[in-house]
A and B are shown apart, each in its own frame.
Chain A
């Protein structure tokens, strides 16, 4: 088990190292940021001065190495646009994103689990059909469009909830959290339903029933435990979908999170911010994947011994 975890950890580190190079190169390729920062009247000398000041005149390899050295210690340099340390921006934005993601995940789990399990148990009934509709609509409605409609109707016309920002406490989480969670609900519910259908048909579930185990226990303990395996396998992908969707949702709902920071950073060619956001996201994704792999190995012993 320890060897398994260590080898996975090493693989994640290699992946992160490769990614950091890619990010560095791509960020350098996004055009000259100075054009956005310096005034129109700036002379070529001003440009040279600013370039030297920001360290953009040094060779790329040197820039990369110093970037890595400092990134490891959490120093991502200064934001070119906000003129503040990027680390400070991250500290401000990251918790907001994590809170929103946690809220969305909570919504997802509390809808997807009961709905997926009940849909499988009562296959072909009304509940099952409602679940299918929820799933298909969740995957067919563009998130940003749902956001606009919700902002207009719930926040605008009905004035029930705030339209954006995160100042209104729990109420401000409802709309973005719901929008963010819905897309994932669809996929998770489907997987759970198909997994449950397969498991409910298996010998050991029949045996449990024959033994006289309560039906509730058969479904929610015996069957669910094994139906969870495919869901856990896909957990990493769900997470990357969540991150992707978060950029859109945070932008529409003016949520001061990492996704919006990415959007702002890219539209103003703020290299240090782009690098920091992409790397932070990558580290989070890598940690999530690593924990998923370990969790998977704990649930399903076949994985542990296969390698």
Chain B
């Protein structure tokens, strides 16, 4: 007697995907956050075309010109000028490149490494898991800024250092969550069936476990981009991030700090830019989580 064919219902698909598809249909797209994210991504890519002036062009006669809607503002500098008479709008536009690039690159590196660690720890379990999770915990408890500050004085502040310093710590957050998810998946029948069918470790990890963690990864990735943008800005603010000639939002805020009373826009506007981008990424991440992986717990 031939074995009964396995019906699709008998295969325990992870419930995550089923409910995700169902929920996605009933939900409205988050237009606000999608719009802002798209806007800033476009601005960052098209910076050379969009910026009205050279962000490094100084003009001491035009120092501290207020934005156009305030008294004394000119249409030549829509968002005013800073302490050296540089055009604020152009600097914010170019600054978006730094922030977004730092956010995306750092998170991608951290995701790749963290997911790999999480998959390995969850798949092999036992000693491998214990060791990897201890490393993860130790990494996670090391303050990011301290490492970045040390790197900044060691090798000098640079874009690469910021990315490395944050990624070296951030991967642990991904590893921990993914490992937890893999542990749950390992208990499901489809993994056992794959084993019986003769699949090796590599095949099970890449073909069966990894695809099932994708939803979670996408959610975490989006939520962490905002966090990385904030950390990068904090570092630039402390002088340990992107070095000065390059316009970065954090260092712009630091430069305008002494003049908040007389020229609030020099610090205020870059701060607003950070708020908007990070808010958009966080809202988008929240929406993705509610749609793709409602049970996910994260910071």
Chain A residues in the interface with B (C-beta under 8 A): 11, 15, 18-19, 26-27, 29-31, 136-137, 139-145, 148-149, 152, 156, 187, 190-191, 194-195, 230, 234, 236-241, 243-244, 247-248, 251, 262-263, 266-267, 269, 274, 277-278, 281-282, 285-286, 288-289
Q: How distant is A51 from chain B, measured CB to nearest CB, in Å?
A: 19
Which partner residue on chain A sits nearest B294 by CB separation?
A194
B143 touches A140 (CB 8 A): no
- Measured in the bound complex, the distance between the Cα atoms of B17 and A184 in whole Å is 31
Q: Across the interface, which residues of A come within 8 angstroms of B267, CB to CB?
A: 145, 148
Candidates B134, B141, B240, B260; contact of A148 at CB < 8 Å: B260
A139 touches B140 (CB 8 A): no
Residues 145-189 (chain B) with a chain A CB within 8 angstroms: 145-146, 149-155, 173
Q: Across the interface, which residues of A come within 8 angstroms of B143, CB to CB?
A: 240, 243-244, 247, 281, 285
B153 touches A244 (CB 8 A): no
- Measured in the bound complex, the distance between the Cα atoms of B298 and A194 in whole Å is 10
- Measured in the bound complex, the distance between the Cα atoms of B275 and A143 in whole Å is 11
From known contacts A139-B226, A247-B145, infer whether A289 and B154 are also in contact, taking CB-CB under 8 Å: no
Of the listed stretches B53-61, B105-113, B206-214, B227-235, chain A binds B227-235
- Measured in the bound complex, the distance between the Cα atoms of B154 and A274 in whole Å is 12
Residues 81-133 (chain B) with a chain A CB within 8 angstroms: none
Q: Across the interface, which residues of A come within 8 angstroms of B155, CB to CB?
A: 29
Q: How distant is B292 from chain A, measured CB to nearest CB, in Å?
A: 15
Closest 5 A/B residue pairs (Cβ): A145-B271, A140-B279, A187-B299, A244-B143, A140-B278
Among the interface residues A141, A145, A266, A269, which one has the most CB atoms of the partner chain B within 10 A? A145
B234 touches A139 (CB 8 A): no
- Measured in the bound complex, the distance between the Cα atoms of B151 and A289 in whole Å is 25
Chain B residues in the interface with A (C-beta under 8 A): 134, 137-138, 140-146, 149-155, 173, 226-227, 230-231, 233-234, 237-240, 250, 253, 257, 260-261, 264, 267, 271, 274-275, 278-279, 282-283, 286, 297, 299
Which partner residue on chain A sits nearest B237 by CB separation?
A144
Q: Across the interface, which residues of B come within 8 angstroms of A142, CB to CB?
A: 230, 233-234, 237, 250, 253, 271, 274-275, 278
Q: Across the interface, which residues of A come within 8 angstroms of B282, CB to CB?
A: 136, 139-140
Describe B's contact surface by its main secondary structure. Answer: helix
A263 touches B226 (CB 8 A): no
Candidates A144, A237, A248; contact of B141 at CB < 8 Å: A237
Which partner residue on chain A sits nearest B249 by CB separation?
A142
Q: How distant is A270 from chain B, measured CB to nearest CB, in Å?
A: 10
Q: Across the interface, which residues of B come within 8 angstroms of A137, CB to CB?
A: 279
Q: How distant is B293 from chain A, measured CB to nearest CB, in Å?
A: 12
Please name 18 pairs of A and B residues whose Cβ atoms are closer than 8 Å in the assembled complex, sorted by A. Answer: A30-B153, A31-B153, A136-B279, A140-B275, A142-B230, A142-B234, A144-B233, A145-B274, A148-B253, A236-B137, A237-B141, A243-B143, A244-B143, A244-B146, A247-B146, A251-B238, A263-B238, A277-B146
- Measured in the bound complex, the distance between the Cα atoms of B141 and A286 in whole Å is 8
- Measured in the bound complex, the distance between the Cα atoms of B271 and A149 in whole Å is 10
Candidates A15, A27, A152; contact of B260 at CB < 8 Å: A152
B150 touches A156 (CB 8 A): no
B153 touches A248 (CB 8 A): no
Q: How distant is A96 from chain B, measured CB to nearest CB, in Å?
A: 17
A15 touches B154 (CB 8 A): no
Which partner residue on chain A sits nearest B229 by CB separation?
A142
